[in-house]
């Protein structure tokens, strides 16, 4: 189980996370919804170790991750697919995947995992020697997911995987998310597209202004209300 | 006493140099061409008073205009490059100017003397101040009057719409462009004003040292020019003044007693200052605090 | 015509050392996106230590080479620690100003250790030039050229065929993504500085051994030659760095012959300015748009 308790993080002088606590059940898809600027990306970057929390604990199966370097966190089994994908544009698809396995030393295992990624994402196989910067947005998103999977994470974090993609591609990405989960990966997902997210999620949290304001299962709250609060925040939605 | 007056002269001229970099830096351009503009001002002003027998003030004015024009001409091609590429392009320009004066000879015979720039030997006998009976104190007062005028001008500019536009371009070019600011005009104007101020500084420099040569205008001087506003901070013109006093007065003259070890400490102290205050000695926070100290209750919100 | 060819040959040889300096520069610039003005001076510190063991202990050329390279690497890491590691993202100009301050410091340190203006440096090769018809090839020049080609090929291989090379290139491509992939970016940066300083140290050794003397001006000289060659060749490209060095060497050798040494330097800067303005990416560089985000931002 993955658990975040009472995380406080500042971004410059702004307190972006004001004591966030949440739990992600193993083997499930958990989704974090909320309006822009609620602190969702800050939370993801803090979990991944890019930003350091001021206070609070981050635990994966009892191991404390807070304060570790990003590389350490990857080797402990947490991988983040960042917002806007962030592939290595001037490296080939294959090299991007190799970089994702940087913490691993098992040459044979890495090679067979690359083959598995090619099987799961046939388009990456077609383009394996192509520079990642020349791929389409959807292909880059798949590469970013595959790169994260190359570290064999126990917990896969995804920040806005549907951002800027065509609806057809978004549907494909969510299918992949569901598929990965069926194969046993725990997924914690930040999403603006509440409609799609609620379809795949087993559990969700609402975040507004740096705080968790609701947690439950899809269906516990009317979808309209979730969407309204996820896009606009509750204060404006109420008024 | 003369030593201190000399030091005050140096600080004044270096403040002008720093201010010239300051207004270019406001638009987000890191220019190492300021020493080149400074050199142009020095040679032009010197040639006008020595060879053409002009009085000082018109000579300085023309020197400033010529430097400004050169800066304007550099500003256009330099617009094509940004960030580090601009740094290097301006280094290239500055060094090209220096090497131009290294090779530049234009002398006239005056009695037994040869006057005017003479290539590698430099330009000697720029004796306007002694010939016209200016005392060192007069020169000091003159320099600091000019410094005060330039600072007042920049202060006014900073607090007018122009300052807001310059800073907007420096903060975020794309955003500035999207609200209808003409980036080209703003950047080239800033470069021109910077060249103008550097020209005045160079012209004064030539006259109080009486002897200039190419080696004085190298990349070291250019880096000093940019170091003042960066060390001082971009929140207002006083940061640059403070940094010039700190570097020239304290780090260079104040530590002279340390002899050969001075440069070791000099480097260390600059690095320390940049580490402790990466946004400069006088950043927005300090300025606010000072203003509160001196004018309680008058602070503008959001300043 | 004979002159032109001979000048071009000489230019290629000296240009190969410029290319090596540019190679080190481009590595540092690639990972940091910042300008290290202390690059040349840190090579000079290495060269001065090499000179010290030569003058004081009468060390052989190989020992001088090793000391020069190790000294350069140590000085390079010192610069990284002081001017680059502590500076926050966006404080690129602060790094540049700091590296300038450290330049003065390193130069002073070198002069304190060896206070005379010039010191002898052990020669690279004392054999007579090889004659080919009307043309002469200097043996030390040939060694320099061979070293430059071999080293650049070696660095290229290291970057594209090794684990640490993968980490370096990932960091150059996108530091945040490199962190997220589990790459220790800090180690990659330190490695890049060490590698760049080692390459610079070898270049410095070759140049000084050809000149057979060392002066305190060498640091500034190395920074400028490396910087110009890197910019002409194109940022972030290893073949570009070498090509830029060779172009610079050939232009300098010919302009020196036809117009004299002052015009040579002037032309080098004019060439650089023109290159930057007309072709900001350099001859073999990456697309210019990627370097454009290195501006002030929070300086």
Q: pLDDT value at position A130?
A: 95
Q: pLDDT value at position B174?
A: 81
Please give the domain boundaries of chain C with CATH numbers for all domains.
Answer: 2-126+141-298 (1.10.3470)
Q: pLDDT value at position C294?
A: 35
Do B and C touch, 3+ Cβ pairs within 8 Å? The answer is: yes
- Is the pLDDT at A100 greater than 70? The verdict is yes
Query: B173: Cβ–Cβ under 8 A, 6 or more apart, which residues?
Result: B28, B183
- Tell me the pLDDT of chain B (303 aa) as tens digits: 778 888 999 999 999 999 999 989 888 888 889 999 999 999 999 999 999 899 999 999 999 999 999 999 988 887 777 777 788 888 888 988 998 998 888 888 877 888 888 888 889 888 888 888 888 899 999 999 999 999 999 999 888 888 888 888 888 888 888 888 888 889 999 999 999 999 999 999 999 898 999 888 988 888 889 889 888 888 888 989 998 998 888 887 777 777 767 767 777 777 777 777 667 777 766 666 666 666 554 444 433
C residues 31-90 lying closer than 8 A (beta carbon) to B: 33-35, 37, 82-83, 86-88
- Please name which of C196, C208, C105 lies closest in space to residue C159, comparing C-alpha atoms: C196
Q: How far is C155 from chain A (nearest CA, A)?
A: 17
Strands (E), chain A: 2-11, 14-24, 29-33, 55-60, 63-64, 78-81, 155-159, 186-190, 203-208, 211-216
pLDDT digits (tens, 9 = 90+) for C211-261: 899 999 899 899 989 988 998 888 778 889 999 999 999 999 999 988 888
How far is Cα B25 from Cα B21, in angstroms, rounded to an integer?
A: 6
Percent of chain C exceeding pLDDT 70 equals 93
Does some domain include residue B158? yes
Contact A103, A151 (CB under 8 A): yes
Query: B126: Cβ–Cβ under 8 A, 6 or more apart, which residues?
Result: B46, B49, B50, B206, B207, B209, B210, B211, B212
Q: Give the DSSP H/E element, type plus range, for residue B116.
A: strand B113-118
Does some domain include residue B64? yes
- Please name which of B155, B162, B194 lies closest in space to residue B181, comparing C-alpha atoms: B162
Q: How far is C189 from chain A (nearest CA, A)?
A: 14
Work out how many domains chain B is built from and give that number.
1
Contact B152, B244 (CB under 8 A): no
Does some domain include residue B247? no
* C3 close to A (CB below 8 A): no
Does some domain include residue B25? yes
Rg of chain A over all Cα atoms, to the nearest angstrom: 17
Best-predicted range by mean pLDDT (A221-225, B6-10, C91-95, C122-126): B6-10
DSSP secondary structure string, A108-128? HHHHHHHHHHHHH-HHHHHTT
Give the residue with greater pLDDT, C292 vs A11.
A11
Number of neighbours of residue C57 by Cβ within 10 angstroms: 11
Does some domain include residue B23? yes
Q: Give the DSSP H/E element, type plus range, for residue B109.
A: strand B108-110
Q: pLDDT value at position C187?
A: 92
- Please name which of C176, C208, C171, C209 lies closest in space to residue C188, comparing C-alpha atoms: C171
Q: Which long-range contacts (CB under 8 A, 24 or more apart) does C82-85 make?
A: C82/B271, C83/B271, C83/C36, C83/C38, C84/C32, C84/C34, C84/C36, C84/C189, C84/C193, C85/C186, C85/C189
Residues in chain B with CB shorter than 8 Å from the CB of C34 are 84
Binning chain A into helix, strand and coil, the percentages to the nearest 5 are 40, 25, 35
C residues 126-155 lying closer than 8 A (beta carbon) to A: none
pLDDT digits (tens, 9 = 90+) for C96-155: 888 888 988 898 899 888 988 899 999 887 788 888 888 888 898 999 999 999 999 999
Specify the 3-state DSSP secondary structure of C5. Answer: helix
Q: Give the DSSP H/E element, type plus range, for residue B92.
A: helix B83-102
How far is Cα C185 from Cα C167, in angstroms, rounded to an integer?
A: 8
Residues written for chain A: 239
Q: pLDDT value at position A98?
A: 96
Residues in chain A with CB shorter than 8 Å from the CB of C179 are 48-50, 70-71
Structure tokens that stand for A55 in this block: 């206070």
- CA B216 vs. chain centroid, Å, equals 14
**Contact call for A86 and C180, based on CB within 8 A:** yes
Span A190-211, average pLDDT: 89
Number of neighbours of residue C192 by Cβ within 10 angstroms: 24
Locate tokens 């993202």: which residue? C89
Number of neighbours of residue B258 by Cβ within 10 angstroms: 12
Structure tokens that stand for B204 in this block: 């004064």
Does some domain include residue B77? yes
Q: How confident is the model at residue A237 (pLDDT cuts 50, 70, 90)?
A: very low
Do A and B touch, 3+ Cβ pairs within 8 Å? The answer is: no
Give the residue numbers spanning the domain of B111. Answer: 2-233
* A74 close to C (CB below 8 A): yes
How far is Cα B296 from Cα B215, in angstroms, rounded to an integer?
A: 49
Pairing mode of beta strands C119-120, C213-214: antiparallel
Does some domain include residue B246? no
Residues in chain B with CB shorter than 8 Å from the CB of C280 are 80-81, 85
Burial C228-237 (b: 16+ CB within 10 A, else e): bbbbbbbbbb
Terminal CA-to-CA distance of chain C, rounded, Å?
51
How far is Cα A119 from Cα A3, in angstroms, rounded to an integer?
A: 32
pLDDT digits (tens, 9 = 90+) for A54-84: 999 999 998 999 989 999 999 999 999 998 8
Does some domain include residue B48? yes
- Is the pLDDT at C288 greater than 90? The verdict is no
pLDDT digits (tens, 9 = 90+) for C162-188: 999 999 999 989 999 999 999 999 999
Give the residue with greater pLDDT, C69 vs C3.
C69
How far is Cα B100 from Cα B90, in angstroms, rounded to an integer?
A: 15
* C225 close to B (CB below 8 A): no
Of A75, A89, A100, the CB nearest to C173: A89
Residue A166's region, left for phi above 0, alpha for psi from -120 to 50, else beta, is beta
pLDDT digits (tens, 9 = 90+) for C249-263: 999 999 998 888 878
Q: How far is A149 from chain C (nearest CA, A)?
A: 10
What is the CA angle C61-C63-C68, rounded to 5?
Answer: 95
Contact A144, A158 (CB under 8 A): no
Q: pLDDT value at position C89?
A: 66
Structure tokens that stand for B151 in this block: 């600072």
Q: pLDDT value at position B224?
A: 87
Q: pLDDT value at position B292?
A: 67
Output the pTM of the full model: 0.82
């Amino acid at each position: 189980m993955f658990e975040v308790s009472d995380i406080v993080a500042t971004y410059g002088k702004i307190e972006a996370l004001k004591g966030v606590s949440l739990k992600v059940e193993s083997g499930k898809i958990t989704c974090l919804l909320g309006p822009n600027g609620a602190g969702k990306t800050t939370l993801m970057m803090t979990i991944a170790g890019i930003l350091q929390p001021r206070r609070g604990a981050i635990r994966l199966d009892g191991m404390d991750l807070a304060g570790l370097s990003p590389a350490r966190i990857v080797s402990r089994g947490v991988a983040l697919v960042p917002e806007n994908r962030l592939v290595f544009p001037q490296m080939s698809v294959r090299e991007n995947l190799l970089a994702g396995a940087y913490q691993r030393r098992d040459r044979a295992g890495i090679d067979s995992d690359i083959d598995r990624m090619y099987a799961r994402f046939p388009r990456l196989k077609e383009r394996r020697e192509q520079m990642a910067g020349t791929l389409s947005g959807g292909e880059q998103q798949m590469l970013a997911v595959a790169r994260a999977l190359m570290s064999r994470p126990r917990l896969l974090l995804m920040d806005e995987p549907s951002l800027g993609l065509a609806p057809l591609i978004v549907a494909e990405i969510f299918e992949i998310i569901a598929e990965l989960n069926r194969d046993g990966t725990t997924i914690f997902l930040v999403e603006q597209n509440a409609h799609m997210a609620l379809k795949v999620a087993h559990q969700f949290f609402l975040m507004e202004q740096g705080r968790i304001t609701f947690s439950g299962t899809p269906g516990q709250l009317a979808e309209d209300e979730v969407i309204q609060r996820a896009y606009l925040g509750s204060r404006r939605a109420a008024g | 006493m003369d030593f201190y007056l000399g030091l005050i002269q140096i600080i004044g001229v270096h403040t002008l140099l720093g201010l010239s970099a300051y207004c270019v830096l406001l638009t987000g351009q890191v220019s190492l061409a300021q020493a080149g503009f400074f050199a142009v001002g020095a040679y032009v002003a010197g040639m006008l008073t020595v060879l053409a027998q002009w009085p000082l003030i018109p000579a300085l004015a023309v020197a400033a205009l010529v430097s400004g024009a050169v800066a304007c001409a550099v500003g256009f091609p330099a617009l094509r490059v940004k960030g580090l590429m601009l740094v290097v392009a301006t280094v290239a320009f500055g060094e090209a100017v220096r090497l131009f004066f290294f090779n530049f000879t234009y002398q006239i015979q005056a009695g037994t003397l040869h006057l005017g720039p003479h290539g590698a030997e430099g330009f000697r006998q720029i004796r306007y101040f002694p010939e016209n009976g200016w005392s060192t104190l007069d020169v000091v007062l003159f320099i600091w009057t000019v410094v005060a005028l330039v600072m007042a001008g920049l202060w006014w500019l900073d607090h007018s719409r122009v300052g807001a536009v310059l800073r907007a371009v420096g903060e975020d070019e794309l955003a500035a462009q999207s609200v209808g600011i003409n980036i080209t005009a703003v950047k080239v104007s800033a470069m021109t004003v910077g060249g103008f101020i550097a020209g005045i500084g160079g012209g004064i420099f030539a006259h109080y040292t009486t002897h200039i040569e190419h080696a004085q205008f190298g990349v070291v001087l250019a880096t000093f020019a940019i170091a003042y506003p960066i060390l001082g901070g971009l929140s207002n013109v006083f940061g640059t003044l403070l940094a010039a006093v700190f570097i020239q007065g304290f780090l260079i003259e104040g530590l002279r007693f340390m002899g050969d070890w001075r440069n070791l400490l000099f480097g260390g102290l600059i690095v320390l200052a940049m580490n402790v205050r990466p946004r400069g000695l006088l950043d927005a926070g300090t300025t606010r605090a000072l203003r509160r100290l001196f004018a309680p209750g008058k602070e503008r919100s959001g300043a | 015509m004979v002159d032109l060819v001979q000048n071009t040959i000489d230019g290629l040889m000296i240009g190969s050392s410029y290319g090596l300096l540019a190679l080190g520069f481009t590595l540092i610039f690639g990972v940091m996106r910042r300008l290290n003005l202390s690059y040349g001076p840190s090579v000079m510190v290495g060269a001065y230590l090499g000179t010290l063991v030569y003058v004081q202990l009468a060390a052989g050329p190989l020992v001088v080479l090793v000391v020069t390279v190790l000294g350069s690497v140590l000085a390079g890491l010192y610069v990284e620690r002081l001017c680059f590691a502590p500076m926050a993202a966006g404080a690129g100009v602060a790094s540049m100003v700091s590296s300038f301050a450290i330049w003065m410091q390193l130069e002073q340190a070198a002069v304190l250790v060896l206070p005379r203006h010039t010191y002898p440096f052990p020669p690279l090769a004392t054999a007579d030039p090889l004659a080919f018809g009307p043309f002469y090839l200097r043996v030390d020049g040939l060694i320099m050229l061979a070293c430059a080609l071999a080293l650049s090929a070696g660095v290229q291989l290291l970057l594209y065929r090794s684990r640490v090379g993968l980490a370096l290139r990932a960091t150059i491509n996108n530091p945040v993504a490199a962190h997220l992939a589990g790459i220790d970016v800090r180690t990659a940066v330190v490695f890049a500085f060490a590698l760049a300083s080692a390459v610079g140290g070898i270049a410095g050794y070759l140049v000084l051994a050809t000149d057979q003397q060392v002066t305190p001006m060498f640091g500034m000289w190395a920074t400028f030659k490396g910087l110009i060659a890197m910019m002409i060749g194109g940022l972030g490209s290893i073949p570009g760095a070498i090509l830029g060095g060779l172009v610079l060497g050939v232009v300098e050798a010919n302009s020196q012959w036809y117009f004299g040494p002052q015009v040579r330097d002037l032309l080098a800067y004019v060439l650089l300015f023109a290159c930057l303005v007309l072709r900001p990416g350099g001859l073999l560089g990456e697309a210019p748009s990627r370097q454009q985000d290195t501006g002030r931002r929070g300086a």
